[in-house]
Each structure stands twice: as structure tokens, then as C-alpha cells.
Chain A
Amino acid sequence: MSPTARRSGRRRPRVGVVKFASCDGCQLTLLDLEDDLLAIAERFDIVEFPEATSRRSAGPFDVLLVEGSISTEEQLEELLRLRRESTTLVTIGACATAGGIQALRNWSEHGPWAATVYPRPELIESLAMATPVADHVTVDAELRGCPIDPQQLLELLTALVVGRRPQLPDESVCAECKRRGATCVVVSQGTACLGPVTRTGCGALCPVYGRGCYGCFGPRNDANVVSLIANTAGLDDSVASTRLAGFTAWAEPFRSVIDDHGGPPGAKP
């Protein structure tokens, strides 16, 4: 038991880190907290994290971090089981919170789509759609982003230790872009940018690097995408629908706007 836990007389929270359809990048973010990782491992009992440890646990979990979208029947069953085992379930990243890039297939018929990648698509067991975790079970907190922001992960873990609500921002990328003193790429270059309708968390990375935001943290609350398209130079319908059709395309209101423009590029075979 860590000194902290001994002092407070509490046992360390049992934490699990699991994944469904995803690239592993969001769970890797935990291992990328190089300065804090060993301290985190002292305050939490990491009982399930297959990418990092051979010690396994089927539950129960005080906290479960879930990466990835739900893409197969088997994953759905496992998610339902994990939810029953978990007191607090947190989705991490665009795949788990919005379906991820693979949700672009939700606009297409699954059979012909699979046939373009696999010679024998009949062998592929896959649900018709790749969907976010919250479509299937109650989610207690979510970290957005493709990938998630390491500082937001640290804030979440800190909040869990002390038993308070995590402070996660819901302002637009634009607000952060202004604070960082970056030149607006829309005004200065006429570049398409989803900054006004996208939730911050990335540090306004793309505008700072001279390119338009592509929405990887997903829509902020009350994002008015229709107005953005109507009022922004360089963001006509086709540009906008292509740009929205990225890593958080399945999240509303991005999804409806893509629908209105006939689906994402390449949706038709």
C-alpha cells in the first residue's frame, strides 16, 4: 500500500484499462505520462491493462477506462459485462466517445464495404455500424480527442483520487487559439477550419501549426455548424462536409450536416 493510501486508511482504487476497436493511442497516453506514471501506479491499483501488464482481472473495477468503438457482437457483450463490473466507467478518446474514424462506414452498406478489403467478407463478423460506448451503456465521464490530451487524463485521475468532479473545458478551439496568440487561419489564409464548432483540448494545435482544425475533439456543446458554413469564407458545403467527415463524424451535430450533404466522401462504392 502506498504511503498516501495508508495515511488516509483507504484502499487504492482498482483500475482497469481496456480497448475495443481502436489504435491503442489513447491508452498509450497513460504510459506517455512519463513523469507521473510511477506515482499513478502507487495511488491506483492497476488490475487490468493488457497492453502493459500480464496480470489480468475480470473485475470488479472502481474505475474502468474504455478505449475504442463497439464494432462486433462480441465486443458489445463484453462491454455489457464490464459495465456491470465497474463503479465508474470513463470513455477515453474519439473512438469510444464518438465512434472514431471507423464510424464513417456507418453511412455505407456493410457487406459491399467489407468486400472491398476482404476477399471473403462472409467470414467477417462485424456489426453493421461502429458506435460509441454511450450508445450501449451508461458512461460516467468522457475524455474527448483523437488522441486524448495527457493533461486531461491527469486531471481526471487526480479528480478520482480526491473524489471531486474533473474540470474539463467545453469552450471552442477558437478561444484557446486566441489565448495562444495564433493568427487565425480562416481570416489570414482563407483556410477551412472547424475551430469555432470544435471542443478544445488540443491546445489549438492545428491553427498554431498553420492549418485548419479537423475536429478531432468533436463538437462542443451547442455547436452551430450550419451557421458556420453559411458565414465562413473557404468553407462551402462540400469542403465542410468533407472536413466534418473525420474522426468524430458520427457525433451530432456533425453527423446531421454530413447527412444533409449526402454522406462522407467515398461512402458510395
Chain B
Amino acid sequence: MTASAPRRRARTRRFEVEGLTRVEGEGSLRIVIRDGEVIEAQLGIFEAPRYFERLVRGRTPDEVLDIVARICGICPVAYQMSAVHAFEDGVGIEIDPAVRALRRLLYCGEWIESHALHVYFLHAPDFMGYASAIELARDHRVLVERALALKKAGNHLVALIGGRPIHPVSVRVGGFYHTPTRAELTALRPELTAALDIALETVAVTTELNTPDFSREPRLVSLRHPTDYPMNEGRIVSTDGLDLAPTDWERAFAEDQVGWSNALQARTHAGDVYLLGPSSRITLAGDKLHPRAAEALAQSGLADEIRRNPFRSIVARAIELVHATAVAIDIIDDYRPPERPATPWNPGPGTAAWATEAPRGLLFHTYELDEEGRVATARIVPPTSQNQAAIEADLTDFAPSVLGLPHDEATHRFEQLIRSYDPCISCATHFLDLRVEDRR
């Protein structure tokens, strides 16, 4: 030890998880505390790069829809939706209202399967003390069977409209390659009605979960639409008064390299962190929830806690399960197939940009199209790369409250907190893998 070293050795504690489980993709957790102060809180990403923004160059808009779906096996529809709206806005195509309704129905299916997967398979085991939903099923078989039925209803919806639940094939610029008949959709109604009951039970079950105390005042961002709960359309709004067109994400936010980590993280231009996802949508657009979901939210009495405590996101997801299921039933009841599946359009140059609400939050795409209408450059900003800085800020704020716990239990609480944001690391990887690489 050198003469200048402090006499008292600083007490350092490290909480590290090399491979996070029950998240989509490969990530790690690292928290370093010295003398009771958090000096490092990192959600690391070590998923291999796949270079999607480069892969789409030279491709036509319709080819891009098939390619970007492959960014994520859990939310391929979200990638197709942000891209298809961007191209239609960029080229100036008016879509048929029936096409619009069918797209929302497709998206509802994805929200249902993705949220059901997260609530029961990825997150609930944390609250209930199990390693997985499969182990949970040994003691609570009916609960897991009903969770599977709910997830299946969502997958059936995506498969009917899109052909298959993962990487569906029906969406094209201007509309669809194929649209279902009214009879085909109506046949799903009984399954969705049963799913709505399970979704309502899910709200009751998640409300009762023993939830860690944690409260902060986050900056939240989501879309907001005059009549609908945020999904395909709306303006980008925030708890601190932002109000932007869905094409203008770059006016308020930027992806940046952070000095201490080399990761690309999105922040506001002022450098502030912000959070997307179900809790943000409920806080900023809860008044647009389907009446069944609004009623469930009111009964839970947790609207304010959903905003302040990230562990309550499991309830927010349950509320959105009710919303998506109830809206799906309404869309099916009102459905008339579009007169023609797709509006014809002419490829050409321009800028195409749009944001929609993926299950995990706002997903922004922008493309420059060349003279032939092929992609010259692309930027895709998934929710997880936007949430990452806010997740790390929350880890820092949360850490002091668990330092008195045994090491393993404290580590588990950190993991549980990370799972609260439903991080999709496979989605984020083409932006975020820099950090870990730099450490070597």
C-alpha cells in the first residue's frame, strides 16, 4: 500500500450477474458500492451484433418489413408496424380504415402474447419465489395453464392475421397481402372472451403480489392519440410536457455514446434519462384505456403506484392485457374486410419515419429512400436502448434499500428490478454491445 492510500480500507461490495436469466437475449448486471455509495450500476449487453441497419440498405420497403421482423422473435409485429407506418407516411399513402383496424388487431395479438409471456414466465416467478414458470406450475398448475391459454389466444390472433405467430408474413406497404374473412375472425371470439376473463384474473393476481417498496418520480414517454390508447398512432408526449409528431423523435432525443461506458444510449437532448413501456402508457394515456381495463385499473387502486414504483409494471402489463383483449373483441365485432387488401403505391425517394408502441414501449424507425425507393440509410431505436439509462438510474436509486439484505437476496432484488422493464436485449443489441467489448 502506498503512503497516499487511505488508512481505512474502503469497503467495496459488488453485485454481479454474468448472464441474466428470464430476459430476452444476453445481458449482465454489475453494481459496485463503495462505503455505502453506488459508484457503478450497469446493465451490460453482450449479445452479438447483427447489423440490421446495414442489412436493410439497398432493399425495397416491402423487403424491409420482412427483415426488421427478425430483430425480435417476441415482438416482430412491432418492428413491422413502425416500419410500415413510416413508409406509408413517407410515400404518402392513405390506408383503408379497415386495414387500420386489422393492424391494431394484429398488434393486440402481439401485446397479449408478449405481456402474458412476461407476466407469468419472466416476472411472476420472482415475486412468488420460483426459478421458472415450469417450477411454478408444480404448485400452481391451474394458474400456469390459464397463463398459457391467454398467451395462446394472442398467438392465435397473430397467426390468423399474419400466418404464423413468429415472423408473420401478411403485412405489406399499403395494407396486407391477405386479409381474414369475418367468419374466420369471429371464430376466435370465444377464445378471446375466455382470455379476457384470464386477463382480469391476472390483474387481481398481480395486484396481490408482495411488491418491494420503491418510489421515484420518473420522466415517462409514450404516444398519445385523441381517441385510442397508444399503439399504432399518436403524438410523442412525456410527463414533462413534450408534444411531438411521431415522425419527429430526433427533435427531442438522441442516441449517444456515454463516456464511462461507450454504450449507445438514448437520452433527451438535455441529457436526461426517460422510461417507456406499460407504466408510461398508463400514466400518460390511462384515460384512453378500454372501459374494462379502466375499471380494472380503478379497482386495483394502483394508478399512482404504477407511475412511481417500477416493480408495479407487472400490474400495468396485466391492465394492458385486459385492454388488448377487450379491444381485440371490439375490433372483431366491428370488422368488415377492406375492399382491397392493399392500396397501390409508387416507390420513390424521400424520408420515412414513424413511432409505434411495442409491448416494451415506443419504437422509432427512420429511413432515407433513394431515387428508386430503396433504403439508403436506416435508424432503428428500440425501447430497450431508450430505457437502458433509466434502468441504470433506477438501480442506483434502489440499491441503498437492499444493502442490508444477504448478498444473494440483494442480487435477486436487482435482477427482479431489471426484469420489471421487460428488457429485450436481442432488440437492443445492434446498438448496445459496445460496453462489454470495451472492458477487455
Near B by CB (< 8 A), chain A positions 15-33 give 19-29, 31-32
Tell yes or no: B74 within 8 A of A by CB. Answer: yes
A266 touches B71 (CB 8 A): no
Contacts of A228 in B (CB 8 A): none
Contacts of B343 in A (CB 8 A): none
Of B161-169, B223-231, B383-391, the one with at least 4 CB within 8 A of chain A: B161-169
Tell yes or no: A233 within 8 A of B by CB. Answer: no
Near B by CB (< 8 A), chain A positions 110-124 give 113-114, 116-120, 123-124
A105 touches B54 (CB 8 A): yes
Tell yes or no: A38 within 8 A of B by CB. Answer: yes
A149 vs chain B, min Cβ distance (A) = 9
A52 touches B134 (CB 8 A): yes
Q: Given that A20-B48, A25-B166 are contacting pairs, would A266 and B434 also be in contact in the complex, using a CB cutoff of 8 Å?
A: no
Contacts of B57 in A (CB 8 A): 116, 265-266
A135 vs chain B, min Cβ distance (A) = 15
Contacts of B85 in A (CB 8 A): none
CB < 8 Å A-B pair total? 190
Question: Which of B66, B73, B137 has the largest number of chain A CB atoms within 10 A?
Answer: B73
Tell yes or no: A256 within 8 A of B by CB. Answer: no
B76 touches A25 (CB 8 A): yes
Tell yes or no: B350 within 8 A of A by CB. Answer: no
Contacts of B167 in A (CB 8 A): 25, 146-147, 216
B72 touches A209 (CB 8 A): no
A265 touches B59 (CB 8 A): yes
Tell yes or no: B141 within 8 A of A by CB. Answer: yes
* Chain A 113-155 per-residue mask, 1 if CB under 8 angstroms from chain B, else 0: 1101111100111100010000000000000001100000000
Tell yes or no: B349 within 8 A of A by CB. Answer: no
A interface SS class: loop
Q: How many residues of B contact A (CB 8 A)?
A: 71
Q: Given that A123-B437, A124-B437, A211-B177 are contacting pairs, would A117 and B132 also be in contact in the complex, using a CB cutoff of 8 Å?
A: no
Question: Which of A20, A22, A214 has the largest number of chain B CB atoms within 10 A?
Answer: A22
B337 vs chain A, min Cβ distance (A) = 14
Contacts of A202 in B (CB 8 A): 164
Tell yes or no: B262 within 8 A of A by CB. Answer: yes
Q: Given that A37-B148, A117-B54, A209-B169 are contacting pairs, would A52 and B434 also be in contact in the complex, using a CB cutoff of 8 Å?
A: no
Tell yes or no: A56 within 8 A of B by CB. Answer: yes
B437 touches A24 (CB 8 A): no
> Which A residue's beta carbon lies closest to that of B134?
A41
A266 touches B132 (CB 8 A): no
B262 touches A113 (CB 8 A): no
Q: How many residues of A contact B (CB 8 A)?
A: 66
B54 touches A52 (CB 8 A): no
B49 touches A23 (CB 8 A): no
* Chain B 410-426 per-residue mask, 1 if CB under 8 angstroms from chain A, else 0: 00000100000000001
Tell yes or no: A51 within 8 A of B by CB. Answer: yes
Tell yes or no: A101 within 8 A of B by CB. Answer: yes
Tell yes or no: A75 within 8 A of B by CB. Answer: yes
Q: Given that A22-B426, A54-B22 are contacting pairs, would A120 and B49 also be in contact in the complex, using a CB cutoff of 8 Å?
A: no
Near B by CB (< 8 A), chain A positions 35-53 give 35, 37-38, 41, 46, 49-53
Of B93-101, B149-157, B200-208, B360-368, the one with at least 4 CB within 8 A of chain A: B149-157
B71 touches A23 (CB 8 A): yes
Contact of B169 among A34, A205, A246 (CB under 8 A): A205
Instruction: Give the complex CA separation of A116 and B155 in angstroms.
Output: 35
Contact of B53 among A29, A52, A117 (CB under 8 A): A117
> Which B residue's beta carbon lies closest to that of A71?
B48
* Chain B 54-96 per-residue mask, 1 if CB under 8 angstroms from chain A, else 0: 1111110001001100111110100000000000000000000
Query: What is B's interface to A at a CB cutoff of 8 Å?
Result: 19-26, 47-51, 53-59, 63, 66-67, 70-74, 76, 113, 117, 121, 125, 131-135, 137, 141, 144-145, 148-149, 151-152, 155, 163-167, 169-170, 172, 177-178, 257, 262, 264, 341, 374-375, 415, 426, 430, 433-434, 437-438, 440
Known: A21-B50, A68-B48; 7 extra A-B contacts, CB below 8 A, are A41-B134, A101-B50, A123-B438, A130-B50, A147-B167, A265-B57, A266-B58
Query: What is A's interface to B at a CB cutoff of 8 Å?
Result: 19-29, 31-32, 34-35, 37-38, 41, 46, 49-56, 68, 71-72, 75, 100-102, 104-105, 113-114, 116-120, 123-126, 130, 146-147, 202, 205-206, 208-211, 214, 216, 242, 246-247, 264-267
Could you give 6 example pairs across A and B, Cβ below 8 Å?
A23-B71, A23-B73, A32-B166, A34-B149, A130-B50, A266-B55
